[in-house]
Amino acid sequence: MSRERSTPERQDADQRGREGEAEAAMWLASQGWRIVAERVKTKAGEIDLVAKRTGLVAFVEVKWRARSAALADAIDERRLTRVAKAAEIVAHEYATDGEDIRIDVILLAPGRKPTHIENAWMPFA
């Protein structure tokens, strides 16, 4: 039995994802980051958040899970590669003053402080 993309379960997951992204954006702002874009769509995929601080632009993948234990499997090389490809497409739009760029991950679960993984993706030169 195939599942349509607009099932109630999919809609609930999308809503939780949006709430997680909003939570991550607020947390990053509290850490001195300025959120300059949300849900940036590219042909390679979507970037959840684009955040800036002096000399740095971070393209941020946000993962929310209902249980902390599930966070261990929330991010993998395939997902990070997708974010990196998407960031490569739009980096020139955000890193306009010669800032360094990087891919970060924010992991969220109820009752737990956000986990910020800086420089989660380091492509080979």
Q: Is residue 15 part of a domain?
A: yes
The 8-class DSSP code of residue 113 comes to: P
The 8-class DSSP code of residue 54 comes to: T
Instruction: Calculate the CA dihedral of residues 119, 55, 23, 118 and round it to 10 degrees.
Output: 10
Q: Is residue 124 part of a domain?
A: no
Residue linked to tokens 């599942």 = 3
- Residue 1, pLDDT > 50, answer no
Q: For residue 25, give its domain range.
A: 8-117
Q: Is residue 86 part of a domain?
A: yes
Query: How many structural domains compose the chain?
Result: 1
| Mean pLDDT to the nearest integer, 24-37 | 97
> pLDDT for 57-106, tens place per residue?
999 999 999 888 888 888 888 889 999 999 999 999 999 998 999 999 99
Residue 13 has a pLDDT of 75
* pLDDT-wise least confident of 10-24, 41-55, 75-89, 95-109: 10-24
Q: Is residue 125 part of a domain?
A: no
Q: Is residue 30 part of a domain?
A: yes
Q: Check which CATH number belongs to the domain holding 26 and give it.
A: 3.40.1350.10
Q: Is residue 35 part of a domain?
A: yes
**Whole-structure pTM value:** 0.87
5 falls in which pLDDT band (50, 70, 90)? low
Q: Is residue 17 part of a domain?
A: yes
Going by C-alpha positions, the residue among 9, 10, 78, 95 that lies closest to residue 44 is: 78
The C-alpha atoms of residue 27 and residue 12 are separated, in whole angstroms, by 22
Q: What percent of the chain has pLDDT over 90?
A: 64
125 falls in which pLDDT band (50, 70, 90)? very low
Q: Is residue 102 part of a domain?
A: yes
